[in-house]
């Protein structure tokens, strides 16, 4: 059951109140954007112009998506070129989401060992760590602070022991990435709130609602315990935490020293649903000494992503509790 820390009560619809654009009220707020939000819209037309449009909304920080280990580019753009364009309009690249290619992108040999797309096996550990050496190098050149693995494999994490094996790989990855001067982290969806036990055979595909009565421990809690705080931090996604039937405020309270980054996400436009108590979430996040949060909006093929981002940034900038 969700506490009132996560859910708003008696809310108006603040996203529809006021017409000031975000840049007029932003002040010194540290708003960030996960560029996955914009999908192909970011690269439609002139990228420099689109990045300027983001900065004009009052956004200061970027979290990347779309790095391809094959060509070592970001959305098909040379890394140095992307960074230069961003910096020219006042945007700082702080973080990046990258999945290990040996698990998620059909790397050679994976199919022979697993036979299933996205399946994780502990014998992939060395390959995963090795693949992150290049990834970490490329991102260190960008001057980022955080390199985040944004999800777990679709299959192969079925019981407590599987989670521990997965955490062992996360620790080894974090140790390697730390050598490059970058902090490694993990971003949750709803699947990490699925419960497993020593003998469970979850075989879940990310839908926690298919297993609501399973006895055991939440995967996220095992991950928090089994990963080394010096090697792995966590980025909490507010929307997916709610979808996992958990309370973001409770998570921030329980794991004060583990959750360092935040994805601020609503059902679509920030604040429009009135469902999430962002005031409590932000207050606890800042109380814990954190500063980087990133707007993210799903449904990236809507054709309305820039429009939705501007509404979200405007609403977020108008909230007194946001820094």
Residue 124's domain spans which residues? Answer: 35-317
CATH of the domain at 71: 3.20.20.150
Domain assignment present for 102 = yes
- How many domains in the chain? 1
Query: What's the CA gap between 182 and 150, in Å, rounded?
Result: 16
Enter the tokens of residue 49.
Answer: 């112009």
Domain assignment present for 8 = no
The mean per-residue pLDDT over the stretch 248-259 comes to 98
Domain assignment present for 82 = yes
- Count of C-beta atoms within a 10 Å radius of residue 115: 8
In the chain the first and final C-alpha atoms are separated, in Å, by 29
For residue 188, give Cα distances in angstroms to 31, 139, 228, 239.
Answer: 20, 21, 17, 10
Length of the chain counted residue by residue = 323
Residue 119 binned pLDDT confidence (cut-offs 50, 70, 90): low
Domain assignment present for 7 = no
Would you give the DSSP letter of residue 303?
Answer: S
Residue 301 binned pLDDT confidence (cut-offs 50, 70, 90): confident
Handedness of CA 249, 254, 259, 260 (dihedral sign): positive
pLDDT per residue over 186-239, tens digit each? 999 998 998 888 987 765 544 554 555 567 899 999 999 999 999 999 999 999
Domain assignment present for 58 = yes
Mean pLDDT rounded to a whole number for the chain:
86
CB 98 within 8 A of CB 79: no
Domain assignment present for 218 = yes
pLDDT per residue over 122-165, tens digit each? 778 899 999 999 999 999 999 999 999 999 887 778 889 989 99
Domain assignment present for 163 = yes
Domain assignment present for 95 = yes
């Amino acid at each position: 059951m969700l506490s009132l820390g996560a859910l708003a009560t008696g809310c108006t619809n603040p996203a529809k109140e006021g017409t000031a654009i975000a840049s007029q009220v932003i002040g010194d707020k540290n708003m960030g954007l996960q560029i996955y939000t914009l999908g192909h819209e970011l690269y439609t037309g002139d990228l420099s112009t689109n990045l300027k449009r983001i900065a004009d909304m009052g956004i200061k920080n970027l979290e990347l998506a779309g790095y391809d280990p094959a060509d070592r580019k970001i959305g098909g753009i040379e890394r140095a070129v992307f960074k230069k364009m961003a910096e020219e309009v006042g945007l700082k690249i702080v973080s990046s989401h990258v999945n290990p290619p040996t698990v998620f992108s059909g790397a050679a040999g994976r199919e022979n060992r697993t036979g299933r797309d996205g399946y994780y096996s502990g014998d992939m550990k060395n390959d995963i760590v090795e693949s992150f050496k290049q990834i970490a190098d490329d991102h260190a050149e960008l001057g980022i602070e955080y390199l985040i693995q944004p999800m777990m494999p679709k299959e192969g994490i079925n019981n407590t022991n599987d989670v521990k094996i997965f955490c062992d790989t996360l620790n080894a990855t974090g140790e390697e990435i730390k050598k490059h001067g970058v902090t490694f982290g993990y971003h949750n969806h709803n699947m990490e709130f699925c419960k497993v036990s020593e003998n469970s055979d979850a075989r879940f595909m990310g839908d926690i609602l298919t297993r609501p009565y399973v006895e055991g421990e939440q995967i996220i809690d095992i991950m928090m315990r089994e990963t080394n705080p010096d090697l792995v931090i966590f980025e909490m996604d507010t929307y997916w935490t709610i979808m996992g039937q958990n309370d973001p405020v409770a998570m921030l309270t329980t794991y004060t020293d583990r959750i360092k980054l935040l994805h601020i996400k609503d059902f679509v436009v920030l604040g429009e649903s009135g469902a999430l108590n962002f005031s409590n979430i932000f207050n606890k996040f800042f109380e814990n000494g954190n500063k980087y949060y990133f707007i993210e909006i799903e449904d990236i093929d809507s054709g309305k992503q820039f429009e939705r981002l501007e509404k979200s940034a405007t609403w977020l900038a108008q909230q007194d509790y946001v820094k």
